[in-house]
């Protein structure tokens, strides 16, 4: 008999983490320390503006200092490097966040490597990547770190589980594989060149879908009772596409007709029913990213002052 799959509520878990961060910030304030985050937003990309302003708003809610820096979209790599160098030296800034994407004339790789590893709250710097791989204390990328929190706080086993990661990006795929390995899972990374991908995926006790293709994972690819972490955020505007994923979902259809679009993950919604637990889209992994950014900023503040190993 099939049991109902458990919905892993990312918003609830994110709120728990933010409450813990607020308590840490209050404790640091008693010692005269206020963690600070600098968010650098270049140009006028609407999605980036919404996302960064949400980060700044969350800082204020939790008691962190934040500064939003908005260079024009004509900024050069040299000007951005000078800005990062100045932020690296500021004592009131513990985390430096450079919102991607950047204008084409700016070299993102150079900029991300210019951020001091001790202030790299996105966890993208090669030093932090190396520390993560070798199991040393490091600032881990926010989305993968949030996924581990979802599993742990939901009481789902990781050690000894077969974990399959679809996608090998530096932002999600590779770091979540490393974090799962640290938690003693047996990890397989699949990608576009993997032979018999469906066969690998069907063996997963924990399935991470981070490939950027809407509804890629179908019900026949999911092991009954598996835990699904769906990282995909794909916007659907086309009615035919909507029907392919959400036919018969009356509530979703009402919202689609009202807004003209909806979101679907990298896992086909019908596949969730095969799982034992899953993160929905939206409301699953997304909310954890900002919560973990706040946690990383506080962690960076403590590490820089020798309050953590």
182 is an active site residue: no
Catalytic residue, chosen from 55, 119, 174, 223, is 55
Catalytic residue, chosen from 99, 149, 230, 266, is 99
Q: Return d(Cα 61, Cα 287) in angstroms, integer.
A: 15
Q: Return d(Cα 162, Cα 202) in angstroms, integer.
A: 10
The DSSP secondary-structure symbol of 11 reads: H
Q: How many residues does the chain have?
A: 309
Torsion over CA of 208, 209, 212 and 218, rounded to 10 degrees? 180
152 is an active site residue: no
8 Å CB contact between 6 and 155: no
8 Å CB contact between 37 and 304: no
Catalytic residue, chosen from 122, 205, 230, 266, is 122
Q: Return d(Cα 114, Cα 82) in angstroms, integer.
A: 10
99 is an active site residue: yes
162-166 and 206-209: which strand pairing? parallel
* Residues in a beta bridge with 68: 39
Place of tokens 């576009």: 192
Other beta carbons within 10 Å of 162: 16
Torsion over CA of 11, 13, 14 and 18, rounded to 10 degrees? 140
| DSSP class per residue in 154-167 | TT---TT-EEEEE-
Q: Return d(Cα 298, Cα 22) in angstroms, integer.
A: 10
Q: Please give the positions annotated as active site.
A: 55, 99, 122
């Amino acid at each position: 008999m099939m049991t109902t799959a458990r919905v892993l509520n990312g918003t609830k878990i994110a709120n728990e983490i933010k409450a813990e961060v607020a308590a840490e910030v209050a404790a640091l304030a008693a010692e005269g320390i206020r963690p600070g985050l600098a968010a650098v937003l270049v140009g006028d990309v609407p999605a980036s503006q919404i996302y960064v302003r949400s980060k700044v708003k969350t800082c204020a809610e939790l008691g962190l200092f934040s500064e939003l820096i908005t260079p024009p979209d004509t900024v050069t790599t040299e000007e951005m490097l000078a800005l990062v160098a100045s932020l690296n030296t500021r004592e009131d800034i513990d985390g430096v966040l450079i919102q991607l994407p950047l204008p084409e004339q700016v070299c993102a790789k150079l900029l991300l490597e210019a951020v001091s590893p001790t202030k790299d709250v996105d966890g993208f710097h090669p030093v932090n990547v190396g520390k993560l791989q070798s199991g040393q204390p490091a600032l881990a990328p926010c989305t993968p770190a949030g996924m581990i929190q979802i599993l742990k706080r939901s009481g789902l086993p990781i050690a000894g589980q077969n974990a399959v990661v679809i996608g090998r990006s530096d932002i999600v795929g590779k770091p979540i594989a490393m974090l799962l390995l640290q938690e003693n899972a047996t990890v397989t990374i699949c990608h576009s060149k993997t032979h018999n991908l469906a066969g690998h995926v069907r063996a997963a006790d924990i399935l991470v879908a981070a490939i950027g293709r809407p509804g890629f994972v179908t019900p026949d690819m999911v092991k009954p009772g598996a835990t699904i972490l769906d990282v995909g955020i794909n916007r659907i505007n086309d009615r035919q596409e909507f029907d392919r994923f959400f036919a018969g979902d009356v509530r979703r259809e009402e919202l689609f007709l009202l807004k003209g679009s909806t979101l679907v993950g990298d896992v086909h919604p019908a596949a969730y029913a095969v799982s034992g637990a899953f993160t929905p889209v939206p409301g699953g992994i997304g909310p954890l990213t900002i919560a973990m950014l706040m946690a990383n900023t506080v962690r960076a503040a403590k590490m820089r002052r020798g309050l953590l190993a």
